[in-house]
Structures are given as structure tokens and as C-alpha cells.
Amino acid sequence: MDFIKLLNIAKSKVNERRLSRIATAGTVAAVLLTDKGNIYTGVCIDTPAGMGFCAENSAVAAMITAGESCIVKCVATGVDDIGACAPCGRCREFINAIHDENYKCEVMLEDGSVTTIGQLLPYRL
């Protein structure tokens, strides 16, 4: 599946909403394509004191729950409709940590170019 299709799936999942007086969700959505060809999606959950998590973490949790961990492509986007957005440092490390081949995972960047988790983490463990 190409990145434009994945980006459109991510855009369809963005849905900013208030969960409670102190928590929101859906300002960022992520889509993962696995080596088995399956797609997993997730949205961010924002709460005080850093207890929330990123959209990529949410998608990874769904993927691992389904029994997979090898990611081929990753795309995230947000409510500001800037196109794709790169995973944050924590998400880069998390994706890299859950499968030995995930450093090869391709990621679409803000300018539409594609790089890998390994290139984003040149000194990864």
C-alpha cells in the first residue's frame, strides 16, 4: 500500500474531542502497515502530567494485541492538516524496540519525503 493511501486513512481517524474536563483525544492519528500486510490505527490521548500517549503508541498497542510487531510503514497526521508528521523521539525509540527489523520501517515526513526509523535514530541500540 502506498503512503498516500495510508495518509488518507490516518486523516480519516483524526477526530479531536474532549474526553473529560482534563483530557482530550484524536488530535493526531497514526497508521501502521505490518510485514503481513495488515493495517493498525491509533489516536493520541492527551492528559495532564504526561499520562497520555501518542497515536503511534496507540496503533502499536492494537498491532501487538493482534499478535504482530514488525512494521513496514508508518504515517501520522494531525488536526492542522499539515500532511504527514514524523514520529516524536519517544515513538521512534518505541517502534525500534518492539521488533529487530523495525529500524527499516519507512516513515513519511512533513515534506512528503520518506525516510526510515533507522535514519531517524542513527545511534539506535
* pLDDT per position as a tens digit, 68-85: 999 999 999 998 877 899
pLDDT at 123: 85
Residue 60 banded pLDDT, cuts 50, 70, 90 = very high
Q: Is a pLDDT exceeding 90 seen at residue 87?
A: yes
Average pLDDT value for the chain: 95
Q: Sketch the domain layout of the chain as residue ranges.
A: 3-120
User: Which has the closest alpha carbon to 62: 30, 107, 89, 24?
Assistant: 30
Q: Which of 100, 28, 108 is nearest to 73 (CA)?
A: 108
- Structure confidence by residue, pLDDT tens digits, 10-36: 999 999 999 999 999 999 999 999 999
CATH class, range 3-120:
alpha beta
